[in-house]
Chains A and B, each alone.
Chain A
Amino acid sequence: MASNPTANGDASLAEYDLMLKLAPHLDRHLIFPLLEFSAGQVVDEESGDVKDEKKAREITLAKYALLKKTNMTDYVANLLCELEGLKEPPAEFADRRQKVFSQLEKYEQETSKITELLERDDVVNSLRSDKVANLEFLKREHEVTIEMVDALYDYGNLQYSCGNYGDATELLYRFRVLSTDNDKVASATWGRLACEILIMSWESALEEIQKVRESIDGRLANNPLAQLEHRTALVHWALFPLFNYDKAREPLLELFFNANYINTIQANCPWILRYLAVAVITSRGRTKNVGIQQKQMKDIVRIVKQEWYEYQDPITKFVYALCIDFDFEEAQQQLVLAEEVLRSDFFLLAHADDFVDSARHLIFESYCKIHARIALKDLSARLGLNKEDAEKWIVNLIRDTRLDAKIDYQEGTVVMNHPPSSVYQQVIERTKGGFFRTQVLSAAVGR
């Protein structure tokens, strides 16, 4: 996989391209969409012409290297033809193709019985939640052997390798129901996760993520290194649903901010911070729970600061400038860069606009918090809008966020009103929970 090229046309952006860093933690098949995306970047959108011949070739080469080991022979053969300029794929591909087909057939035969069984209602109905008992039952009643179950696994593996993700996930699911081999079940779970991601069925992908997570916490509990590696992989794989499925956002952010996973990110793959930062910033206003979003924001700021020495890119630089240095000009500059980076990132492309908008809000919010009076002209420049738009934007903002601010049109300023928090208010604030907490306490003591 070392042959993966940095796929971006722009040289300055290339250094922020994470392809090389992400790739080692992803599966072959999961890298493929990323490469496709890179290839798409090279092609001019309107004319459909290839902008950079060399780059395109590099990408094709990478694709070939990537898929050579899989069983998607037809596609690989085509790639090779494209690369070498051949009309006919070499004969070896035909051979391999033949072999793959024969293998498929063989497995199909082997698994046909069990598949059949599992489709019969009376069999399925008599299955319980106890795996061992199930297996016993099938052995007794229908002469199912362990080998047959394992064949399901191998068949699933082969299907996956051929690119038939839908079939693969089905097979692996059946295998998992029956098998008692923990290691194989774990890898079947990973396999299913990959399949679900590739056929973009995010709901079940989420379920699989949850399963994988449980197995990491449970099965690998006494192997910290493996835990670390698996968590790293899970974090990477979870990026697919995180940015493609809105409902996944909340549970996945919760996963990412879990102490174990945040530690994994800090220790092993700080580049994930980019995605995390974008996810947190864009989830502004989406989540129902403002408190959690604020807390996550605070966490991300803290972690960006901690990992500053190890990882920097325009997105984290933006966060740093805004929330740590309070250098608004710098933040503005970084935001421009960050937008470019977002637009060339496979995961973040769709969220670029969203991010820019949320980031503007963020800038404005903290700007208002600090300033008492802001020149409208200046602010519009800062937000990268013209004066009219800026005015509208601010009015909307004031309305939305219930900021205590007013526009003084004559002077051309926005005036903020920061009411000093009253001492009385503070005392009330601090003692508010006391009664309830004491009650809980006394109840707990009484128990």
Chain B
Amino acid sequence: MSRFFRGGDDSSTESSSDEEELYSGSEDEAEKKEAKAEDSSSEEDDDEAEEDESSDSDTGAQKKGLSRFLLDQDSSESEEEEIEGTTKVKSAKDKRHDELEATITVIQNGQKISDWGSIANELDKLNRQVVKLQDARGKAPKPYIKCVAELEDFMNETIAKQKVTPKKMNATNARGLNAVKQRIKKGNKDYQDQIDAFRKNSDDFMESDEEVAPAPKVPKVRFHEPTADEEGDDSGFAVVGKGGRVLEFTPESIFKHLRSIMESRGKKNTDRLEQIKIMEKLNKVADTPYQKIRVLMTLVSARFDLGSGGAASMPVEHWKAAEGELAALLRLLDTEKDHVVIENAEEWDDDEKAPTIAEGEKYLKIPGSIVSYIERLDDELTRSLQSIDPHTSEYIERLTDEGSLYNIIFQGLLYYEMLRKDASLEVPQESLNRIIQRRLDHVYFKPAQVVKILEENCWKEVPSNVNSVITPRTEQNDASHLINVLCNYLFENSDGIIRARAMLCQIYFLALHDEYYRARDMLLTSHLQENIANFDINSQILYNRTLVQVGLCAFRKGLVYDAQNTLQEICGSGRQKELLAQGVMMQRYSQVTPEQERLEKQRQLPFHMHINLELLECVYLTCSMLLEIPLLAQTGSSPDVKKRVISKTYRRMLEYHERQIFTGPPENTRDHVMQASKALAAGEWKKATEFIHNIKIWELMPNTDNIKSLLAKQIQEEGLRTYLFTYAPFYDTLSIATLSTMFELDTRKVSAVVSKMISHEELAAALDQVTETVIFRKGVELSRLQSLSLTLADKASALIETNERTLEQRTQGSTNAFSRKDGRGGQRGGGQRGGRGGARTGGNTQRQAGGTQFTGGALGAAVRG
């Protein structure tokens, strides 16, 4: 009879989807006949929910349908039965059931030949299908349960076998097996009770629906026992998880619950959300401080577990909840002074009764690490910020959470300070260092005003009688002081990476606030450039950021040379994005494994910490222009000067720009700088200034006008120098006054610039004071042969020098023969080769080796002695 029924139904669905409605309509009628009380909307719901009845049970359903008439009259029947009753055979569902069956067959076949790859695929499919076939109460179709349960058994068996036999599975199979394992664990959780029922008595289970089974089904589900070992842990959870058992959450049972939750922690098939719900309830009933602390701690860590999978970040609401709970925990600890949470405490055996403060003990020590919680909270926020598109309002919203996070960090700091006061607790210095480092991490890149607001807010949060030893309340208004205090604390009390990071943070902050010299001196004193390569990548990123910030600061001060030198290392490489962790580079010759790529993604800084790369490039190129253009002009006129290149990147761009046949009006920053360079090279300083001033991005700098006028001045001077270099060969004399009008500089400045060039022997000329002119000496241009012979002489002496150095290294300076020679070199240094000779014999080779552009590795060398 079912055949008959089905056949008819099939045809109705197959005809078209339109018919679905028609059909549902027609069904309505049928339903009405059978279930009079049902209204049409619920009917449709049912329709969509798709009952779980398998096609096998059609007959059962039919029977139910029949019995239903009887039951209907007897209103004592359970609701669920009614629903099942209403689920008459429906064609769409039938089809799905067929598909389900087909899939199951494939899986069973796969089991026979142990083809885990295909099993995994099919299981995926099965899971998708079964979702659609669930009934309103989340009951899965029975064949599915059966299949899954069998599959699990088989899988366990395979895994067990796998352990014994040394033979390895092939890769596809192994992967498949793992996938299946995970899915089963995940899937079975949802249908645990059903599976348990099946395990209990598979025959009964399968039959149950063929007969009029629903009635015994309910108690069966409620009553279950762990059949497989694996379910053991879960069963405890399942009992609680059934819901509607609030009664159980009594203060006495809290620890039991917690224990079971703790035990299931980290296991794959635990429902963390469910656990969290339980704990939220537990939190409400907890009454002693100890209970509260325990519950809160477990709850917070459970929330963190939610975000532990791969790159996914923790859901926002859970983050917020965790933040709230952590705050509550800290408040609680603050009021209950005799309870302390410290890392090195013993675990309490608290199942039976809550521990009390022992005789002679001042504190009830609870194991746990507040600092780890806080760090985790911080990390999660960063991760979430990493994944949000920074140009949306969502990002901004999320960013506001930083304030509350900062409050937590601050309160955590207060808490640790309090703990440190009592030496008997033996709180490690490291925890305090870690938390201070976190606090520093949140302020170092921010302008002073922002830090001030942060500070004010967090002081508002704590009661007015609380004060901090390290950062007293009275000094909250001065951000630079705060940074200084935090950093100094870390200098004194930590070592290694934390210390270096503190140093970098302080330098960064100083550079951000235009304290160039202090920042520079600290950077040099730290000697970080020598050993930064041994640090972890995050510290290296911080170092790069600091370096860039110092460079930008130098630029704001108008110190073009220093700025260029400092930025060279980062910007010259053309990999700014990577070096500053502000974006992943496109890998052209991709050699990066996905693993590396993932790590790199994790390292990325959230957007609000970024340094503007375009501005950076603009600064770098402008500085390079101011240095390179006069140099190009100088080397252009005299071939014997060694071809010195300051910035390869800039040169390359300039060459590219010059190769272009047609250059349109400048569009981006780079174009602007390049056209300015061209103008400057031609002596048209006004045009160059205009190009540079037209760059939009200057607006992002504080004090734009000031910077622009500084730049204009520099361009004027460099323009003058370039002009002199370029056109000197074509003049006998040049009037200072003319130059002064040409470059709109006053005569004193012009003569100072010219004097400087003459004195440094860059220009073969002399000034005539009487007529106020520059007289260019003739006959200084060398013939080709002459310049070549000069070069040869240079090379020869360079060769000797190299030989000497090689020998010196070999003999480790034990030969005294060289000291005499060095003395000679030094004396001669006064003469022509002053710069080089002087530097070499200056005795401070270490400074040179350090490669510091600032030449003032002074303090460092002094300190190191």
Report A's interface with B, CB cutoff 8 A. 217, 221, 224-225, 227-228, 231, 258-260, 262-264, 266-268, 290-291, 294-295, 298-299, 302, 306, 309-310, 325-327, 329, 366, 369-375, 378, 411, 413, 416, 418, 420, 423, 426-427, 429-431, 433-434, 436-438, 440-441, 443-445, 447
Residues of the A chain whose Cβ atoms lie less than 8 Å from the Cβ of B824: 433
Q: Which residue of B lies closest to A217 (CB)?
A: B865
State whether A225 and B863 are in contact (beta carbons under 8 Å apart), knowing that A372-B768, A427-B789 are contacts in the complex.
Answer: yes
Q: Which residue of A lies closest to B525 (CB)?
A: A267
Query: CA of A430 to CA of B792 in the docked complex: distance in angstroms?
Result: 10
Residues of the B chain whose Cβ atoms lie less than 8 Å from the Cβ of A310: 517
- CB <8 Å contact, A444 and B790: no
- CB <8 Å contact, A420 and B777: yes
B486-528: CB near A (< 8 Å → 1, else 0) gives: 0000000000000000000000000000000100000000000
B310, CB-defined interface residue at 8 Å: no
Q: Which residue of B lies closest to A416 (CB)?
A: B766
Residues of the A chain whose Cβ atoms lie less than 8 Å from the Cβ of B807: 441, 444-445
Q: Which residue of B lies closest to A329 (CB)?
A: B748
Query: CA of A327 to CA of B770 in the docked complex: distance in angstroms?
Result: 17
Could you write out 29 A-B pairs with CB less than 8 Å apart?
Answer: A217-B865, A221-B865, A224-B863, A258-B843, A266-B856, A267-B862, A298-B834, A302-B855, A325-B752, A325-B756, A327-B748, A327-B752, A370-B759, A371-B766, A373-B770, A375-B769, A418-B766, A420-B779, A423-B789, A423-B790, A426-B790, A429-B831, A430-B790, A430-B793, A430-B796, A434-B796, A441-B800, A441-B803, A445-B807
- CB <8 Å contact, B865 and A224: yes
Q: Which residue of B lies closest to A328 (CB)?
A: B755
Report B's interface with A, CB cutoff 8 A. 517, 748, 751-752, 755-756, 758-759, 764, 766-771, 775, 777, 779-780, 782, 786, 789-790, 793-794, 796-797, 800, 803-804, 807, 811, 815, 817-818, 820-821, 824-834, 838, 842-844, 855-856, 858-859, 861-865
Q: Which residue of B lies closest to A417 (CB)?
A: B766
Query: CA of A413 to CA of B771 in the docked complex: distance in angstroms?
Result: 11
Residues of the A chain whose Cβ atoms lie less than 8 Å from the Cβ of B829: 291, 295
A sample of 13 more A-B contacts (CB under 8 A), given A262-B858, A434-B800, is A259-B861, A260-B865, A267-B863, A423-B790, A427-B789, A427-B793, A430-B793, A433-B825, A434-B796, A438-B800, A440-B818, A440-B821, A445-B807
CB distance from A328 to the nearest CB of B (A): 8
Residues of the A chain whose Cβ atoms lie less than 8 Å from the Cβ of B756: 325-326
- CB <8 Å contact, B859 and A266: yes
Residues of the B chain whose Cβ atoms lie less than 8 Å from the Cβ of A437: 800, 804, 821
- CB <8 Å contact, B793 and A431: yes
CB distance from B474 to the nearest CB of A (A): 24
Residues of the B chain whose Cβ atoms lie less than 8 Å from the Cβ of A329: 748
Q: Of B766, B815, B834, B855, which is within 8 A of A370 by CB?
A: B766
Query: CA of A325 to CA of B817 in the docked complex: distance in angstroms?
Result: 40
- CB <8 Å contact, A295 and B838: yes
The 4 tightest CB contacts between A and B, nearest first, are A372-B766, A326-B755, A267-B859, A263-B862
- CB <8 Å contact, B830 and A374: no
Query: CA of A378 to CA of B829 in the docked complex: distance in angstroms?
Result: 34
CB distance from B747 to the nearest CB of A (A): 11
CB distance from A26 to the nearest CB of B (A): 20
CB distance from B803 to the nearest CB of A (A): 6
Residues of the B chain whose Cβ atoms lie less than 8 Å from the Cβ of A221: 865
Q: Which residue of A lies closest to B807 (CB)?
A: A444
State whether A420 and B764 are in contact (beta carbons under 8 Å apart), knowing that A326-B752, A327-B748, A431-B793 are contacts in the complex.
Answer: yes
Query: CA of A370 to CA of B278 in the docked complex: distance in angstroms?
Result: 89
Query: CA of A113 to CA of B758 in the docked complex: distance in angstroms?
Result: 72
Residues of the A chain whose Cβ atoms lie less than 8 Å from the Cβ of B843: 258-259
CB distance from A288 to the nearest CB of B (A): 12
CB distance from B27 to the nearest CB of A (A): 89
Residues of the B chain whose Cβ atoms lie less than 8 Å from the Cβ of A430: 790, 793-794, 796-797, 832-833
Residues of the A chain whose Cβ atoms lie less than 8 Å from the Cβ of B862: 224, 227-228, 231, 260, 263-264, 266-268
Q: Of A227, A423, A426, which is within 8 A of B832 by CB?
A: A426
- CB <8 Å contact, B817 and A444: yes
Residues of the A chain whose Cβ atoms lie less than 8 Å from the Cβ of B811: 444
Residues of the A chain whose Cβ atoms lie less than 8 Å from the Cβ of B797: 430-431, 433-434
Query: CA of A309 to CA of B519 in the docked complex: distance in angstroms?
Result: 13
Query: CA of A420 to CA of B780 in the docked complex: distance in angstroms?
Result: 7
Query: CA of A119 to CA of B596 in the docked complex: distance in angstroms?
Result: 81
CB distance from B549 to the nearest CB of A (A): 18
- CB <8 Å contact, A375 and B770: yes
Q: Which residue of B lies closest to A307 (CB)?
A: B856
Q: Of B748, B771, B834, B865, which is within 8 A of A227 by CB?
A: B865
Residues of the B chain whose Cβ atoms lie less than 8 Å from the Cβ of A262: 858
- CB <8 Å contact, B834 and A373: no
CB distance from A423 to the nearest CB of B (A): 5
State whether A423 and B786 are in contact (beta carbons under 8 Å apart), knowing that A291-B826, A429-B832 are contacts in the complex.
Answer: yes
CB distance from A270 to the nearest CB of B (A): 10
Query: CA of A108 to CA of B37 in the docked complex: distance in angstroms?
Result: 123
Q: Which residue of A lies closest to B785 (CB)?
A: A423
CB distance from B755 to the nearest CB of A (A): 4
CB distance from B665 to the nearest CB of A (A): 39
State whether A267 and B790 are in contact (beta carbons under 8 Å apart), knowing that A418-B777, A441-B800 are contacts in the complex.
Answer: no
Q: Of A263, A299, A309, A373, which is within 8 A of B861 by CB?
A: A263
Query: CA of A418 to CA of B767 in the docked complex: distance in angstroms?
Result: 11
Q: Which residue of B lies closest to A374 (CB)?
A: B769
Query: CA of A431 to CA of B792 in the docked complex: distance in angstroms?
Result: 10
Query: CA of A126 to CA of B789 in the docked complex: distance in angstroms?
Result: 69
Q: Of B752, B828, B830, which is within 8 A of A290 by CB?
A: B830
Q: Which residue of A lies closest to B856 (CB)?
A: A306
Q: Which residue of B lies closest to A368 (CB)?
A: B766
Query: CA of A369 to CA of B786 in the docked complex: distance in angstroms?
Result: 25
Q: Which interface residue of A433, A440, A443 has the most chain B CB atoms within 10 A?
A: A440
- CB <8 Å contact, A263 and B838: no
Residues of the A chain whose Cβ atoms lie less than 8 Å from the Cβ of B794: 430
CB distance from B362 to the nearest CB of A (A): 39
State whether A228 and B863 are in contact (beta carbons under 8 Å apart), knowing that A371-B769, A375-B770, A444-B811 are contacts in the complex.
Answer: yes
Residues of the A chain whose Cβ atoms lie less than 8 Å from the Cβ of B828: 433
Residues of the A chain whose Cβ atoms lie less than 8 Å from the Cβ of B786: 423
Query: CA of A88 to CA of B838 in the docked complex: distance in angstroms?
Result: 64
Residues of the B chain whose Cβ atoms lie less than 8 Å from the Cβ of A373: 768-771
Query: CA of A443 to CA of B811 in the docked complex: distance in angstroms?
Result: 13
Q: Of B803, B815, B821, B855, which is within 8 A of A447 by CB?
A: B815
CB distance from B856 to the nearest CB of A (A): 5
Q: Which residue of A lies closest to B833 (CB)?
A: A430
- CB <8 Å contact, A306 and B865: no
Query: CA of A264 to CA of B856 in the docked complex: distance in angstroms?
Result: 11
- CB <8 Å contact, B864 and A224: yes
CB distance from A445 to the nearest CB of B (A): 7
